[in-house]
A = this chain, B = another copy of it.
């Protein structure tokens, strides 16, 4: 008996956007000493969040509020918007999947940068969308190129991350504003701000959901240190936000995830302290690069792309050798970005270990 799958499914490759560090650990039968590849927040969530998780662990028998009302009230107050202008979802990954489903029909055009977030591409293809990928320009997403390609293809969706992943570069708000204003009004700009809290003041646009063709995505996975709890949110015009109700998994954000997100949002003091630690860590990665006579790319995120000085093959060799020595890192997937490895910020001892191993590995490979 042959399965009668939807034709769209039959066409999809069995590709996976990311291999997890656990997979590599199983393959090598060794645990990583430093987990610097997934842009998790190695400083962890606020102690108050951990306390709340412990205090509420015995409530894990409860479904989460499908309207996450308390969290939504807190977020709306924090952002200075109404509750109708935001929706909470199962991380940015989950929200990207919903957005693709809401808009994409087979062969619809979607524009992104070549080498940008693979999981977005996975979802676009998953709904049959045609991806147009614009090369980076000087390690920045090429906003003019993205606008032009959106016009050329009559794109339904255009994806930008600011600050950018995987390079860590960023655009100031004024540049982003020009981009939105130059975009065809019917092209929805997905602005992925996963790393927004790490960026300098003046990176994030003021929130204005009267721009109907803009949807902004944020998360508790990065600055708030809760990647393991799967909570993200989208900010957009209420006419767009309301459409999520038609398709989302209403009980998809669990009870403890909501507990954690609420506690995290309420501890802005910890966020401030942690951002200072990230800044220190970023500086230490720059120093490590410099000490090893490598270039790096200034970052507005909790990771740094280090230019290994040769092509992608060389950088990949360095990456594998780092992994062999217990340091998990990742790297961009396409040239010329793939001359870099991408290193997540972490506490001093992990940075020190990374520096030592990098020096050793570079010496072996040169």
A residues lining the B interface (CB < 8 Å): 1-9, 12-14, 16-20, 22-23, 26, 35, 38, 40-45, 49-50, 53-54, 57-67, 69, 90-91, 93-94, 97, 101-105, 119, 126, 156, 185-186, 188, 212-213, 221, 225-230, 239-240, 242-243, 245-247, 249-252, 254-257, 260
Q: In whole angstroms, what is the CA distance A57 to B47 when docked?
A: 10
Closest residue of chain B to A52, judged by CB?
B57
A6-B105, A57-B53 known; A247 vs B62 contact (CB < 8 Å) = no
Residues of B within 8 A of A251 (CB): 18, 20, 91, 93, 230
Q: In whole angstroms, what is the CA distance A13 to B245 when docked?
A: 9
Within the complex, which residue of B1, B42, B60, B213 is in contact with A61, where a contact is CB–CB below 8 Å?
Answer: B42
- How many monomers of this chain does the complex have? 2
Q: In whole angstroms, what is the CA distance A218 to B22 when docked?
A: 25
Q: In whole angstroms, what is the CA distance A221 to B244 when docked?
A: 24
Q: Chain B CB within 10 Å — which of A18, A23, A243, A256 has the most? A: A256
Q: In whole angstroms, what is the CA distance A65 to B22 when docked?
A: 6
Residues of B within 8 A of A229 (CB): 60, 254-256
Residues of B within 8 A of A240 (CB): 3
Q: How far is the CB of A116 from chain B (nearest CB, A)?
A: 17
Q: How far is the CB of A270 from chain B (nearest CB, A)?
A: 13
Check A250 against B17 for contact (C-beta < 8 Å).
Answer: yes
Q: How far is the CB of A110 from chain B (nearest CB, A)?
A: 12
